């Protein structure tokens, strides 16, 4: 199965800054390189610095407008600062929605009282934030996150599961290692082989390697998986009653690349074209309970330095914003 084509890159034209601002940026650039341990050759340094400066100026402009109330979220420089948005999407957003692949959507209705807010981290369902590195394996992290939660629900024990096992071994089900994949294919792999190794027994390398799954080290299994209807109500019911749920979103915009805090609402977001797999671990609202203040609590796989210690609050009940309910599923155990 061929992966879907990447979206066309967004070109950001940023006006040149005053000399003193450039001097300040030069100082920040040197500090950023030190913090993120970047070493370039002379040819690469110049243009990486220009990319970083453009990103920094975009962030500063956004945060100025955020302080004026024009946005509901802030941005910040992070480890992706020297990457163009096109590079970022190619490397980090590895969810591949394949054409002509029909999903068996569950029509099951979950009858239960639905609370106004949920956070499964508080109940022990969620492992610490992980980091996929420069490997398009978001789909594997979304898969393990959902399965970790369901195994905890079943056994009362939270065991970190192996993304590397999925990256190395689920090609027969249609995944492509660091080049992308689908959570459903990953759930199918676990079903096919009868288990998934623990993180401890099969640690993450961030590179696609030879499969060495060992059934003796399996820490989880599935009996199947459920694809939910493309409705935020269905996602809310599932999150409220079952635990963390796998989802896919449009993470292609620069504002997502440098998200820091607040409720993420991006007018340029697509509700159909999704390119990044994440884990919905809860939902809630800030301040008064109105549509503009409601959010999905989403666990990302870009390390704790990104966003809110690795998490993002995404706008909820605003017409499937960023496609949060477009491809939602969970494993049965």
Whether residue 175 contacts residue 181, with contact meaning beta carbons closer than 8 Å, is answered with yes
Q: Is 276 a catalytic residue?
A: yes
Kindly give the residue spans of alpha helices, DSSP state H, lying in the chain: 19-35, 42-67, 85-92, 138-155, 163-169, 183-193, 232-241, 254-257
What's the sign of the alpha-carbon dihedral 105, 110, 113, 115? negative
CB atoms inside a 10 Å sphere around CB 278: 30
Dihedral angle over CA of 326, 192, 94, 100, nearest 10: -50
- Within 8 A by CB and 6+ apart from 56, the residues are 25, 28, 77, 81
Closest CA to 236 of 139, 121, 130, 117: 117
Question: Which position among 85, 175, 253, 300 bears the catalytic label?
Answer: 300
Question: Which position among 62, 135, 138, 269 bears the catalytic label?
Answer: 138
Q: Is 300 a catalytic residue?
A: yes
Q: Is 138 a catalytic residue?
A: yes
Whether residue 280 contacts residue 268, with contact meaning beta carbons closer than 8 Å, is answered with no
Residue 107 CA to chain centroid, in angstroms?
26
Strand partners, 226: 330
Gap between the terminal Cα atoms of the chain: 28
Residue the block writes with tokens 């969620």 = 126
Token pair belonging to 32: 């950023």
- Within 8 A by CB and 6+ apart from 86, the residues are 6, 9, 10
Cα separation of 127 and 207, whole Å?
Answer: 22
**Helix 183-193 crosses helix 138-155 at what angle (to 10 degrees)?**
50
Give the distance between the most distant pair of CA atoms in the chain: 62
Question: Which position among 62, 176, 276, 321 bears the catalytic label?
Answer: 276
Phi and psi at residue 278, in whole multiples of 5°? -140, -175
Token pair belonging to 287: 């301040």
Positions marked catalytic: 138, 276, 300
């Amino acid at each position: 199965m061929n992966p879907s084509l990447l979206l066309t890159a967004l070109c950001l034209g940023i006006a040149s800054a005053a000399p003193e601002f450039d001097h300040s940026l030069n100082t920040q650039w040197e500090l950023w390189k030190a913090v993120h341990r970047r070493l370039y050759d002379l040819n690469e340094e110049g243009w990486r610095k220009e990319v970083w400066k453009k990103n920094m100026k975009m962030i500063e402009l956004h945060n100025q407008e955020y302080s004026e109330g024009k946005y509901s979220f802030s941005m910040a420089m992070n480890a992706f600062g020297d990457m163009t948005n096109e590079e970022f999407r190619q490397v980090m957003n590895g969810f591949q929605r394949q054409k002509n692949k029909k999903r068996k959507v569950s029509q099951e209705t979950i009858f239960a009282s639905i609370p106004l807010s949920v956070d499964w981290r508080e109940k022990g369902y969620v492992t610490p934030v992980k980091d996929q590195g420069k490997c398009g394996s978001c789909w594997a992290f979304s898969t393990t996150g959902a399965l970790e939660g369901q195994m905890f629900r079943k056994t009362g024990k939270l065991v970190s599961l192996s993304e590397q096992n999925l990256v190395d071994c689920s090609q027969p089900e249609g995944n492509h290692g660091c080049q992308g994949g689908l959570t459903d294919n990953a759930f199918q792999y676990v079903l096919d082989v009868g288990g998934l190794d623990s993180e401890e027994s099969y640690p993450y390398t961030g590179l696609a390697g030879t499969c060495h799954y060992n059934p003796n080290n399996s820490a989880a299994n599935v009996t199947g998986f459920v694809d939910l209807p493309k409705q935020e109500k269905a996602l809310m019911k599932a999150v409220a009653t079952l635990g963390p749920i796998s989802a896919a979103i449009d993470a292609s915009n620069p504002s997502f690349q440098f998200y820091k805090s607040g409720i993420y609402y991006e007018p340029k977001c697509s509700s159909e074209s999704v390119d990044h797999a994440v884990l919905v671990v809860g939902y809630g609202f800030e301040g008064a309970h109105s549509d503009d203040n409601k959010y999905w609590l989403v666990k990302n796989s870009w390390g704790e330095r990104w966003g809110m210690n690795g998490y993002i609050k995404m706008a909820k009940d605003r017409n499937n914003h960023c496609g949060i309910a477009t491809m939602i599923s969970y494993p049965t155990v």
